[in-house]
Amino acid sequence: MTLAGRTLFITGASRGIGLAIALRAARDGANIAIAAKTVDPHPRLEGTIFTAAAAIEQAGGRALAIPCDIREEAQVRAAVARTVEAFCGIDVLVNNASAISLTGTLDTPARRFDLMQQVNARGTFLCSQACVPALRQSANPHILTLSPPLNLNPRWFKGHVAYTMAKYGMSMCVLGMAEEFRDDGIGVNALWPRTGIATAAIRNLLGGDDAVARCRTTDIMADAAHWILTRPSREATGNFFIDEDVVRQAGVTDLDRYSVVPGTTDFMQDFFLD
C-alpha cells in the first residue's frame, strides 16, 4: 500500500486538492508531474507549478513542473511525453483540473460555457487519451477523476446547467473508460467529497471564510485518493467513490482530524449528493 517509485501525472496540481494528492504521494517517494497553467503568482490564488514542485520534493518525492493548458491537445501530449521521458512511464493519471461558474443559463456567457466544457470534459478526455498508452505499460495503472456520481435530480441542474454539464462530462468519461479499458487492467474511478473542501473556490466563490470554517481540509481527499490508487487496478474500477466512505473503509474512525474547525458537525454539503 505505497506509491513509492510510481509516477503520477496530476492536472491542476499547483494548489488545492491536486497538490494535496501530490504531497501525499510524495511522502511515499513517488514521482509527480505537475501539469498546470500557473507559472507566475496569481493575486487571488496561492501557488505555482514551481512552488508545488518544491513542496513535493521537500515531502520526499520527485517533481516535474510542466506548464500545461489542458485545453490544448499539443500541450497535453507534450506534457505526457516529457513525463514518460523523465520518469520512464506513467502509472497514475489524476484528472483534477476543473473550471467552475455557478451561473444560470441567462447569466453564462458562451466563453464561460466553453471554458468549463474545454477544461472539465474535454480536458479530462484529452489527458486520459494521451496517458493510456503509457498506463498500459504499468503494473498497476489508475485513472482517478475528481468528479461526482451521475445524479439526474433536477435540483443539480436548475441553478447552473452549464457547470453541471461540464462536471458530468468528466463523470461520463469515468463511466465509459472504466469499461473500455477494463481488459487492459486500467482502474478508472471517480472521487468526490461529501462536504465542502477548504479550497480557493470555496473562499472566493461560495461564502468566504465563514464557508471555509464549515469545510473539511484537502487531506481527506488526499488520503482517499491514496487508498484508491494503491488498490489493485483490476479489482477497483468503475466506482464513484465518496471521500468519507473511502477513508472509513481505509480504517479511519475519527474524521474530526479533517475538520477545518475541530468539532464541526454542521458541514457545508457538496454539490450533486442528495
For 141-187, the pLDDT digits (tens) are 999 999 999 999 999 999 999 999 999 999 999 999 999 999 999 99
pLDDT tens-digit map of 124-138? 999 999 999 999 999
Phi and psi for 71 in degrees, rounded to 5? -75, -15
Residue 242 included in any domain: yes
The per-residue pLDDT for range 57-95, each reduced to its tens digit, is 999 999 999 999 999 999 999 999 999 999 999 999 999
C-alpha to C-alpha distances, 169 to 37, 93, 119, nearest whole angstrom: 21, 17, 10
Q: What is the pLDDT of residue 40?
A: 87
Active site residues: 163
Domain count for the chain:
1
Kindly report the pTM of this predicted structure. 0.96
Mean pLDDT across 8-36: 97
What pLDDT score was predicted for residue 50? 96
Q: What is the mean pLDDT of residues 220-246?
A: 98
CA dist., res. 173 & res. 188, Å (int): 9
pLDDT at 1: 83
Give the CATH number for residue 147. 3.40.50.720
Looking at residue 105, its amino acid is T
Q: Are the C-beta atoms of residues 5 and 29 closer than 8 Å to each other?
A: yes
Range of the domain at 245: 7-258
Domain annotation covers residue 196: yes
Place of cell 447569466: 107
Helix (H, G, I), strand (E, B) or coil at 132: helix
Q: Measuring CA to CA, which residue among 189, 2, 210 is closest to residue 95?
A: 189
2 inside domain? no
Rounded distance between C-alpha atoms, residue 252 and residue 56, angstroms = 24
